[in-house]
């Protein structure tokens, strides 16, 4: 049974501990925040479960164009775009529906009202997590994978994924 999850906005600094623990443990928590975390319009979300005073999952939404527009269908290139960054769920709570709940919340926030133009939601997914996102209806937007490595950690393979929200 999935835990009850309360998802709400959080300050940028509240994302650092989970980013450090789950995504890039080789980087200290104070190095987990970037310029985009403080950019106007950036939204940070935290998921809280019963009696938790700290978030057990985090996600960041940044208004940003897709990095490789040539890989998109022509009609998708001009869409308003939002990038999901640094989605992370506390390791001991992964597989319990919290990440899925976070993504559903993101979609609800970003889906344009009826009669408004669609919006592109995109993100850099760890290649190992691509099946999770595909199961939820996201698709590969650019077949060319790439790697990221921070703080001396082993490189991690990524693939650009997303969906058009209508």
Q: What is the pLDDT of residues 111-151, one digit of tens each?
A: 999 999 999 999 999 999 999 999 999 999 999 999 998 87
**pLDDT tens across 14-53, in order?**
999 999 999 999 999 999 999 999 999 999 999 999 888 9
Q: How far apart are CA 11 and CA 125, in angstroms?
A: 23
Query: Is residue 152 scored above 90 in pLDDT?
Result: no
Half-sphere exposure (CA, 13 Å, Cβ side) for 86? 25
Give the pLDDT confidence score for residue 96 in this predicted structure. Answer: 96
| pLDDT at 22 (0 to 100) | 96
Residue 2 has pLDDT above 90, yes or no: no
pLDDT tens readout for residues 76-121: 999 999 999 999 999 999 999 999 999 999 999 999 999 999 999 9
- H or E element at residue 43: strand 43-49
The pLDDT value recorded for residue 1 is 60
H or E element in which residue 47 lies = strand 43-49
pLDDT at 52: 86
Please work out, in degrees rounded to the nearest 5, the angle formed at the alpha carbon of residue 15 by the alpha carbons of 82 and 150. Answer: 85
CB atoms within 10 A of CB 90: 20
Q: Could you give the domains of the chain?
A: 5-165 (3.40.630.30)
């Amino acid at each position: 049974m999935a835990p009850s999850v309360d998802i709400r906005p959080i300050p940028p600094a509240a994302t650092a501990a989970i980013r450090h623990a789950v995504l890039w443990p080789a980087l200290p928590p104070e190095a987990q925040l970037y310029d985009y975390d403080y950019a106007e319009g950036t939204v940070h979300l935290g998921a809280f479960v019963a009696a938790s005073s700290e978030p057990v999952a985090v996600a960041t939404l940044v208004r940003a164009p897709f990095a490789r527009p040539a890989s998109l269908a022509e009609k998708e290139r001009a869409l308003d775009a939002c990038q999901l960054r640094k989605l992370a769920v506390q390791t001991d709570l992964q597989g319990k529906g919290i990440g899925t709940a976070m993504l559903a919340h993101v979609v609800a926030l970003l889906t344009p009202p009826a009669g408004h133009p669609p919006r592109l939601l995109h993100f850099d997914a760890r290649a190992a997590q691509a099946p999770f996102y595909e199961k939820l209806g996201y698709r590969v937007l650019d077949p060319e994978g790439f790697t990221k490595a921070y703080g001396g950690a082993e490189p991690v393979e990524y693939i650009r994924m997303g969906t058009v929200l209508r």
